[in-house]
Amino acid sequence: MTTVKPIPDVRFIYKVCDSGLWDAAKLAGKFIGAEIDLQDGYIHFSTASQLPDTLARHFFGRDGLVLLKIEISQLDIVWESARSGDLFPHLYAHLPLNSVVAEYQLEVSADGDHIIPEACLYQS
Looking up residue 104, the CATH number of its domain turns out to be: 3.20.170.20
Q: pLDDT digits over 72-112, tens only? A: 999 999 999 987 788 999 999 999 999 999 999 998 888 88
The tally of domains found in the chain comes to 1
Indicate the DSSP class of residue 84. Answer: G
Q: pLDDT digits over 19-57, tens only? A: 999 999 999 999 999 999 999 999 999 999 999 999 988
Query: Closest Cα partner for 55 from 65, 42, 41?
Result: 65
Looking at per-residue confidence, does 5 or 25 come out higher?
A: 25
At residue 8, the pLDDT reads: 76
101 lies in a domain?
yes
Looking at per-residue confidence, does 107 or 3 come out higher?
A: 107
5 lies in a domain?
no
7 lies in a domain?
no
8 lies in a domain?
no
**Is the pTM higher than 0.75?**
yes
15 lies in a domain?
no
Q: Which domain does 85 fall in, by range?
A: 21-120
53 lies in a domain?
yes
Looking at per-residue confidence, does 85 or 63 come out higher?
A: 63
At residue 2, the pLDDT reads: 38
